[in-house]
Amino acid sequence: MTTNLPFARWSELFLDPTAAAAVIDGVVHHARCRRPRAAAAALLAEGGDAVRRRDFAALRCLCGVAPVTRRSGKSMIVTRRLAAHDRLRDAAYHWARVAAHRDPASHDKYQSLRAPGHGHARALRSVADRLLGVACAMLRAGARFDPHRVGSAG
């Protein structure tokens, strides 16, 4: 499922216009990336049912940010989810990459993971996970984006 709808008609994808406004505010204004419409459109269009249900766990899986733990004997490996939606995974990656550079809360999250030795990809997945959590919380509350409230969230 894809959409060519302008922002003014995104409320048609949701049960209520406040939810659409919350996602548009959070995704576009928070990330402020070069391609914010592409990331926001991918999240809304491709994650349609999970977004409508405000299902954080499903969005994490669709975007590939939910970790996968593999255990065998005494060894344990935590990797990225390979079974993810390609467009949503790319949108989450770019959203997190830009937010890690431009948003202080996302930058702090990224640096707090890089300092102890986590890799770049692992840190970006955690930033994307945080951003998806913020988007779902905004949808559940029907609230608009508030950068001061998001900055205080972990």
Does 114 map to a domain?
Answer: yes
Does 1 map to a domain?
Answer: no
Does 2 map to a domain?
Answer: no
Contact 45, 53 (CB under 8 A): no
Q: Supply the mean pLDDT for the chain.
A: 76
Does 3 map to a domain?
Answer: no
The amino acid occupying position 140 is R
- Residue 58 confidence (pLDDT): 85
Does 55 map to a domain?
Answer: yes
**What is the total count of domains within the chain?**
1
Rounded Cα distance between 138 and 87, Å, is: 22
Structural domain of 21: 10-152
Q: Is the pLDDT of residue 107 over 80?
A: yes
> What tens digit of pLDDT does each residue of 32-73 get?
444 545 666 677 667 777 777 788 888 888 888 888 888 888
Q: Is the pLDDT of residue 76 over 80?
A: yes
Of residues 25 and 35, the one with the higher pLDDT is 25
Q: Tell me how crowded residue 37 is: count the other CB atoms within 10 A of its CB.
A: 14
Does 69 map to a domain?
Answer: yes
Q: Is the pLDDT of residue 115 over 90?
A: yes
Of residues 47 and 120, the one with the higher pLDDT is 120
Does 103 map to a domain?
Answer: yes
Least confident window among 24-28, 94-98, 139-143 = 24-28
> Which H or E run includes 76?
strand 75-79
Q: What is the pTM of this model?
A: 0.66
Does 144 map to a domain?
Answer: yes
Strands of the chain, DSSP E: 68-72, 75-79
